[in-house]
A and B are shown apart, each in its own frame.
Chain A
Amino acid sequence: MRSLLSCAVVLVSAAGSVSAAERLTPEALETSLRAEVPAASDGSISDEQFLRRATLDLLGRQPTAMELEEFLASDSADRRSQEIERLLACPEFGQNWANYWVDTIAFRVPPPELTFLNYDPLRTWLAEKLNTNTGWDAIVRDILSATGKVKDNPPVTFVAYHEAHPQRLASETARIFMSVQIGCAQCHDHPFDDWKREQFHELAAYFVRASVKFPWNEGAETEVKDKGKGEYTMPNVSDPTQKGTEMTPAFLTGKALEKGKSDAERRDELAQLVANPANPWFAKSFVNRVWSRLMGRGFYDPVDDFGPANLAYVESVHEQLAADFVDSDFDVKRTFRLIMNTPAYQQPLPSHVSTAQDPFTTATTTKLRGDEVYASLVTAIELPNVTPPKMEPTKEIRFPPPPKSTRDVVAETFSFDPSARPQDVARTLQQAMLMMNNEQLQRQIDARPESGTVLAKLLQTVPENRDRVEELFLSVLARRPTDKEITIAMEHVSVAEDRNMAFEDLLWSLINSAEFTTKR
């Protein structure tokens, strides 16, 4: 775990086009938010709770006991800000948010025939871009305009895995990067929104010259090329056997491109129009997703729909944050920094149950994403990542699915669509069975000295039961136990016939606690 601590504390100075005086600050953000919704209490979470919340949000895992110790040792007045900077500088930040975006894309990619999609190249590329704090506009432009093979040029994954399908790409580009749901306008004018059917097909026309060929089995070999010819035709809905209308590529804001352009010219142009300060949806969509994940609820929910049926919440705050994102040239880390330094981000869960809690008046619990659960298990109990051998295709079994590593199994079992509303994400039987009975996982719940587990080492090095309980809480829940929790644990240990068994029970109970898979 030591390697995780290697992230240096780097204070990033943001550079942008707006002078420092006009810049949005966490204080100003807080003031705007509180003008709209008062806080239920003026309290703030403890340093322990802050560190777990912030580490989960930025690195996608809970903090290690050592990170917690170092953080608590600091007596600096702005230690929380400094910690946010340290975490933003960790390579795991990019990896975690790359996982988020890969899930966002992959969840709506229908499985293609006979090819197993491999998102690892995109994951690695995106992590690197986020870690170097490349502007979100530049990242999205690459994703929309890339060509070539997935393994050589990972941002091409989005177009490649959507099989260069113009309608799918039009609808997903609008949904993922602009939170505009124009997909329904494919067949008819949007029933509630202003979108006309033509506008959907004009958007699709930007993708019409991309072509893709899937190789069997290996998705990373998928290649996107220019078809070299052709224009987009909107199907004739009144009589599908008749030829439809040839469409000129045009963007939702009205800007058009003449026909006859190459694939690169079309998609470059679209990329410029999407990832653009003048695009009213682009910045808003990004900051809403980040806000939603950090605060447990978006200004709009679901995060991929700004549609008129969806009521905006504290819209002025949303506008303010989006404007700052534009002014900072789409500085991703700056957005995290702004939100996480507000007292609103650091407020506690509701002190008493209330059925009609207004959003943002208190903190709210959220479920960890699949890769976050896996990373937290690695942090807590050093869960090993075991990959079964790969099966090569044979004449009889032509399409063997790729083997699943421990990471794959945990991440898939706990995965959910990041665009879904939090209340629509359900816990499952499979998740509970994995935590209760999975062989790999249960092997780490072994107190015998020869097992070499985290638990065994703890029992060997810490003599007092009470200290052992504390250590267990620190390594699994990244916090000290309350007095009540110590009592519960000590009771359990004292009545047990076998001390090892009692601590195995304790570790199991903490791993299987609701808190372990929840951000609080």
Chain B
Amino acid sequence: MLRPILDLSVSRHGIQSRRGFLKQLSGGLTAAGVMTLGWRDLMMAQAAELQKQGKSMILLWMDGGPSQFDTFNPKIGSPNQGPATAIDTAVPGLQFADFWPETAKIADRLAVIRSMRTSEAEHDRAITLVRTGYPPNPALRYPTFGSLIARDRENPEFEFPSFVRIGKPRIKTRDVDAGVLGVQYNSFNIDQAGKLPDDVRPRVAEDVLRRRLSLTERFDAEFAAVGAVAAVNEKRSVYDRTSRFVLSPRLNTFQLDNEPDPLRDAYGRTNFGQGCLLARRLVEQGVSFVEVISSGDRNDAGWDTHNNGFRDQPYLCAEVDPALSTLVLDLEERGMLENTLVVWMGEFGRTPKIKADGGRDHYSKGWPVVLAGGGVNAGQVIGATDADGVDVTDRPIGIQDLFVSLCQTMGLDPHEEYVTSDGRPIKLVDGGEAISELFG
């Protein structure tokens, strides 16, 4: 009986307009009649269950642009080789840089794209491009992918934000957000994994807050009665959501204390590692999009290894290797991998040529993206660069192709249009073709 009740409630709340999400839900809009008692209560109780049925995505963001040579496209014997050697992986014939021993063991769960080719090689412009799918446009702030997901999955009854970010971008001026979609689709930001932002937890006991909320409702009703109905209704709906969030008995989802130590150790005791664990916990509770930012925590250069690449690469990789591999295995063990797409990427790769001090500059003509879960075909490599890692020799993939594929995995129509507040229609993705190797 559960499913029909859910679906009917959904229709009452207008969620049927939520395109991609609904497509993923099984069952029809049937069983009229069950809505007589407390459909709203039922809806609230089941919102998280419902939310979990849509796929989720975890973006592991390598802030600064990771070197392809020292990650997933090593070029052993080339003058461009760099500090890493190569190791075998769980997929015969596939090698990773030796800074990735744990990830190598789970390569059969990964789809490794080695042939991303994009047009922007400055951080701010490249971040805009690969986070929004659109080239930078000074007249229009395109939304980041997480905001598009948040809009698609919008569910006023779900008590958590649908788009959560863990960790801070290394340089604030380069940040992207919901842009023209509007502030309500911005990410909910957690700087430090395991610690909720300051304004979430109520400063008073739950019964006190509830008492205050009901008192303020009574004053609001008076205000509504003198011509302010619209203002009061809008406020109420936001306060309903907010109070459900801040008073949620599941708020401890954001805490990590109760996770077993061995698991926490396996993720790595870094903000990124613990952030990946938190990401799993959030997805488990129905959050649709989580991004976890890796920047090494040592300085604000992050993966932007212009200088001292030989020194910094091992540190950066050691932060991500255990976290990425443990995340994929953890999701798998919990039966969540099929419904959770994990994406590892940065804004570009690094130049093949190594500078005197071991650093590399920005390079957008052949860089890697790694995908896992979400039902994409794993255990494969897509695309290739030449022996020195200079040019894409097989299967060049543009950013729109990647975005179309992300949309397809997440159940969104990539060519759907939304309309900005000034009346401008914008497609989720402009052009691009799905990366067919990932599907079918």
Contacts and interface: CB of A to CB of B under 8 A. Distances in A.
Interface of A: 110-116, 165, 167-168, 171, 183, 186, 302, 305, 309, 348-351, 353, 362-363, 365, 367, 395-399, 401, 416, 420-421, 424, 426-434, 436-439, 442, 482, 484-485, 488, 492, 501, 505-506, 508-510, 512-515, 517-518, 520
15 contacts: A111-B173, A113-B122, A165-B138, A349-B228, A363-B227, A365-B228, A424-B421, A428-B238, A429-B242, A432-B239, A436-B202, A505-B208, A514-B232, A514-B234, A514-B236
B243 interface: yes
A505 B228 contact: no
Interface in B152-208: 161, 171-175, 182-184, 186, 188, 198-204, 208
A492 B173 contact: no
B215 A505 contact: yes
Nearest to A482: B222
Interface string B202-231: 111000110111011011101110111111
A395 B104 CA distance: 35
Contacts of B224: 514
Contacts of B173: 111-116, 399
A302 B212 contact: no
Contact of B174 (A111, A116, A171, A437): A111
Nearest to A514: B235
Nearest to B218: A488
Contacts of A186: 139
Nearest to A512: B216
Question: Most chain-B CB neighbours within 10 Å: which of A165, A168, A482, A512?
Answer: A512
A484 B245 CA distance: 31
A438 B243 CA distance: 14
A509 B219 contact: yes
A429 B245 contact: yes
Interface of B: 122-124, 136, 138-139, 141, 161, 171-175, 182-184, 186, 188, 198-204, 208-209, 211-213, 215-216, 218-220, 222-224, 226-232, 234-236, 238-239, 241-243, 245-246, 298-300, 421-423
B172 A396 contact: no
Nearest to A168: B138
Nearest to B215: A509
B209 to A, nearest CB: 7
A56 B219 CA distance: 21
Contacts of B203: 437, 439, 442
B138 A512 contact: no
Nearest to B128: A110
Nearest to A181: B422
B304 to A, nearest CB: 11
Contact of B175 (A111, A305, A436, A442): A111
Contacts of B235: 427, 514, 517
Contacts of A115: 173
A103 to B, nearest CB: 14
Contacts of B220: 513-515
A514 B230 CA distance: 10
A477 to B, nearest CB: 9
A488 B30 CA distance: 44
A510 B219 contact: yes
A309 B422 CA distance: 11
A211 to B, nearest CB: 17
A207 B9 CA distance: 57
B13 to A, nearest CB: 18
Given A168-B139, A365-B228, A442-B203, A433 B171 contact: no
B141 A427 contact: no
Contacts of B209: 436
A301 to B, nearest CB: 11
A510 B222 CA distance: 12
B222 A428 contact: no
A349 B227 contact: yes
A362 B227 CA distance: 10
Contacts of B208: 501, 505
Contacts of A424: 182, 421
Contacts of B241: 429, 432
Task: Point out which of B173, B182, B228, B234 has the most chain A C-beta atoms below 10 A from its C-beta.
Answer: B173
Contacts of A520: 223, 226-228
Contacts of B161: 429
Contacts of A349: 226-228
A432 B188 CA distance: 13
B228 A351 contact: no
Contact of A429 (B201, B238, B299): B238
A195 to B, nearest CB: 14
A187 B413 CA distance: 28
A484 B139 contact: no
**Which of A111, A397, A437, A510 has the most C-beta atoms of chain B within 10 angstroms of its own C-beta?**
A437
A70 to B, nearest CB: 25
B439 to A, nearest CB: 34
B182 A439 contact: no
Contact of B228 (A168, A433, A518): A518
A233 B435 CA distance: 39
Contacts of A492: 215
Given A396-B298, A397-B299, A520-B226, 18 more contacts: A110-B138, A116-B173, A349-B226, A351-B227, A365-B230, A399-B171, A426-B184, A432-B241, A439-B199, A488-B215, A488-B218, A488-B219, A501-B208, A505-B212, A505-B215, A508-B216, A514-B232, A515-B219
B139 A509 contact: no
A165 B136 CA distance: 14
Nearest to A302: B422
B202 A518 contact: no
A396 B203 CA distance: 36
Contact of A433 (B122, B186, B199, B226): B199
Contacts of A302: 421-422
Contacts of B182: 424, 426
A77 B200 CA distance: 50
A426 B183 CA distance: 8
A508 B203 CA distance: 12
A416 B219 CA distance: 26
A113 B138 contact: no
A436 B243 contact: yes
Contacts of A508: 212, 215-216
Contacts of B198: 437-439
Given A437-B246, A488-B218, A428 B227 contact: no
B138 to A, nearest CB: 5
A196 B57 CA distance: 44
Contacts of B242: 429, 432-433, 436
A247 to B, nearest CB: 19
A421 B300 contact: no
A110 B203 CA distance: 36
A505 to B, nearest CB: 5
Contacts of B202: 436-437
Contacts of B201: 437
A157 to B, nearest CB: 17
Contacts of B246: 433, 436-437
A398 B300 contact: yes
Nearest to A510: B219
A515 B238 contact: no
Contacts of A401: 172
Contacts of B423: 309
B222 A485 contact: yes
